[in-house]
Amino acid sequence: MTSATLEKTPAANTAGSTANVPAPTVPRVVTAKTKTLLVGFDLGTNKSCILAGPATGTDIAVSKVVPTVVGYVKDGIVDGIITGNARIIFGEDALRNMLHVRLVAPVAEGVITDPAAARDFLNHIRSLVDPAATAEIRAVIGMPANAGTQARDDIRRCAFGIFDRVLMIPEPFLAALGYRDDARIAQPNYLDPVVNSLFIDIGGGTSDLCLVQGVFPSSEDQISIPFAGDAIDELLHAELDRVYPNNGLSRHKVREIKEAHAYVGPSRKPLEVRVIMGGKAHTIELGDTIARACNTLIDRIYPALTTLIARAPSDSVLTLLQNVIVTGGGSQIKGIDTVLQKRLADDGFEAPRVKLAGQDYKRYVAIGALKAARAARENQWQVLLG
């Protein structure tokens, strides 16, 4: 049976030289720009979220979550198998046709690792936002906390000729902006997350923590941990191979199992999962396996959490502890808020309260990015130079 693999390039050393960005493989027609569209863009390792709308007003014309994956159609595929006989497909389309394409993930640990595929992906995003290719596109792009100069330069080079202007802003700060309820800012009892909060954004490639206390966070206010959803998948996969050798379960299937059953805290048994191995249905018990993999995330995040709490001004800490917010895909891990809160309380922190961002967790970075795009002054936008 043919199995599809996802090509991932390891995250580049930030001190290394920048790879040359090839010319775009998807031609773009250049026409006169008749309007300006603003884009809030969460370029995630596994999933990207795009919100777009006109420069004035509050309308959102485009709202999409797209798997961050490019599929290059293999030679010899029969006509009609791929819609429109396209040579390059993206997102869900690429995953659906994974047997017929070479799947490439252009982003790893939150930064671009395959510039050519990243450029193709950005072109696809642009076509979603502006199918007629007549608009000036200004994009606010989320970056992992403390992303280095190389990561930013790679984005700029890949976006040249695709977006007209960009702003790159750390994702946890964007999450705070997005999570903030603008209608309640003036209410005296409202705990404005932008004024005093600690955001924990657990994505696919990185877990980013950020103090947001009424000023733009400095590098000391942010910690990025290269351990997140993908790392849990790796641990789970390795554990499954150990307990159930030759199980044949794909990474995609293991991720599905994680997303359906992930939890932290004491082991919950039995946790029975039905899987197909070798064409036959099996029920396997995964309580301990999932707990070990997911609790590793807590062990990595917690020290960073207490480090940032220690860096906050002492007068602010009591309120800060009431406003610890978990967002991103990792916020869907059952019990993550309770476990973190309990650890803080057990360690003597005063009345901590860890909250989940809620059902819009996939969109808060993009929402914040679009808010930033609408608020940015003309001289704050970066013009991309080739």
Partner 1 sequence: MLREQARHAEAEAVQREELAPLLDVVRAGEDDPLTLDARLAATMAEETERVTNAMLLAELLAPLLGGRARADDVTVTAVAARPAPLPLAQPVPASRPAPVRAAVSIADFLDEMIAQESTPARPNGPAQRRAS
Residue 169 sits in the site that holds partner 1 (CB under 8 A): yes
CB of 181 to partner 1, least distance (A): 14
- Amino acid letter, 120: D
Which residue in the set 134, 218, 267, 338 belongs to the binding site for partner 1 (CB under 8 A)? 218
Q: Which stretch binds partner 1 (CB under 8 A): 62-70, 124-132, 142-150, 283-291?
A: 142-150
Which residue in the set 22, 131, 266, 313 belongs to the binding site for partner 1 (CB under 8 A)? 313
- Amino acid letter, 226: P
**Which residue's entry shows tokens 């476990």?**
339
Between 212 and 275, name the residue whose CB sits nearer to partner 1.
212
Q: State the SS3 of 113-173.
A: CCHHHHHHHHHHHHHHHCCCCCEEEEEEEEECCCCCHHHHHHHHHHHECCECEEEEEEHHH
Residue 56 sits in the site that holds partner 1 (CB under 8 A): no
Between 141 and 275, name the residue whose CB sits nearer to partner 1.
141
Residues paired with residue 51 on neighbouring β-strands, in sequence order: 40, 63
% helix, strand, coil for the chain, step of 5: 35, 25, 40
Q: Which helix (H) or strand (E) holds 103?
A: strand 101-105
Between 213 and 341, name the residue whose CB sits nearer to partner 1.
213
CB of 336 to partner 1, least distance (A): 18
Between 188 and 278, name the residue whose CB sits nearer to partner 1.
188
Tell me 340's DSSP state. H
Which residue in the set 28, 35, 252, 311 belongs to the binding site for partner 1 (CB under 8 A)? 311
Q: Which stretch binds partner 1 (CB under 8 A): 21-29, 32-40, 207-215, 232-240?
A: 207-215
Burial of 75 (0-12, 13-18, 19+ CB in 10 A): exposed
Residue 36 sits in the site that holds partner 1 (CB under 8 A): no
Q: Is the dihedral of CA 20, 26, 31, 34 positive or negative?
A: negative
Contacting residues for 302 by C-beta, under 8 A, at least 6 apart: 340, 343
Which residue in the set 59, 75, 315, 346 belongs to the binding site for partner 1 (CB under 8 A)? 315
CB of 45 to partner 1, least distance (A): 15
Which residue in the set 12, 108, 122, 225 belongs to the binding site for partner 1 (CB under 8 A)? 225
| CA 206/CA 144 separation, integer angstroms | 7
Contacting residues for 386 by C-beta, under 8 A, at least 6 apart: 160, 161
Residue 314 sits in the site that holds partner 1 (CB under 8 A): yes
CB of 306 to partner 1, least distance (A): 12
What does the binding site for partner 1 look like in residue numbers (CB under 8 A)? Answer: 14, 146, 148-149, 167, 169, 173, 177, 186, 188-189, 192, 195-196, 213-216, 218-220, 223-226, 304, 311, 313-316, 319, 371-372, 375-377, 380
